[in-house]
Amino acid sequence: MWLLSDPLVTTFLRSFLALLFAGAALSKLRHQEEFVGVVRNFRLMPEALAAPVAAVLPWLELAVAAGLLVDPALPYAAAGASGLLMLFAIAMAINVARGRKAIDCGCFRTGYKQALSWFLVLRNVVLAGGGLVLLGLVDASRAATWADIATGVFAASVAMLLYITFGLLGGVAATARNNAHLA
């Protein structure tokens, strides 16, 4: 457990989750009308709530992203990140269990739709675990150095680029499979 409490690891987790939530929020804000449709497609709430939920969610995600970067807010932001990620995982799991896999997860508005799957559910559970790890590691074993911070932020940035790239590649592969089935 001592390795997880190392400032380099906590900096990485904080930065990665902050980038994840900020990127998701900004893409949802840029494509607000499309995101209302995504929320509506999940069919987990009354129709009248889809637009208000879609309007509030990106701002909540931005607040979580900012909170992950501010020491006094870290426990609340980490709990919020884990809670939102588990909520998203549950929403996806309900739809996958219903056989509704062809709908877009709504994670990032990248132009490629990520169909729901048990893999996406698991991904969100693992990401939620990152927030839970941060909850238990507010007191690190040593103070963070500038090298820890720079390395952690750089590693998180690279990990985020890989995360988005794999998401895009998954979307391209899904589109190719769908087009092959239509041909």
Predicted confidence at residue 1, as pLDDT, reads 46
Supply angle C-alpha 56, 104, 164, rounded to 5.
85
Regarding predicted confidence, which is higher, 145 or 75? 75
Q: Is 68's pLDDT higher than 80?
A: yes
Predicted confidence at residue 2, as pLDDT, reads 45
Spatial separation of the C-alpha atoms in residues 164 and 159, rounded to whole Å: 9
Of 3, 16, 17, which is closest to residue 137 (Cα–Cα)?
A: 3
Secondary structure of 100-147 as H, E, C letters: CCCCECCCCCCCCCCECCHHHHHHHHHHHHHHHHHHHCCCCCCCCCHH
Predicted confidence at residue 140, as pLDDT, reads 57
Regarding predicted confidence, which is higher, 139 or 67? 67
Predicted confidence at residue 138, as pLDDT, reads 52
The HSE-up count of residue 142 (CA atoms within 13 Å, CB side) is 11
pLDDT range class, residue 143, cuts 50, 70, 90: confident
Q: What is the pTM of this model?
A: 0.84
Regarding predicted confidence, which is higher, 60 or 5? 60
Spatial separation of the C-alpha atoms in residues 79 and 89, rounded to whole Å: 15
pLDDT range class, residue 169, cuts 50, 70, 90: confident
Report, as an integer, the average pLDDT of 82-89.
Answer: 97
DSSP state of 69: T
Q: What is the mean pLDDT of the chain?
A: 86
Q: Is 109's pLDDT higher than 70?
A: no
Predicted confidence at residue 50, as pLDDT, reads 95
Residue 115 sits at φ, ψ, to 5 deg, of: -65, 150
At 11-67, the pLDDT tens digits run 999 999 999 999 999 999 999 999 999 999 999 999 999 999 999 999 999 999 999
Percent of the chain with pLDDT over 90: 56
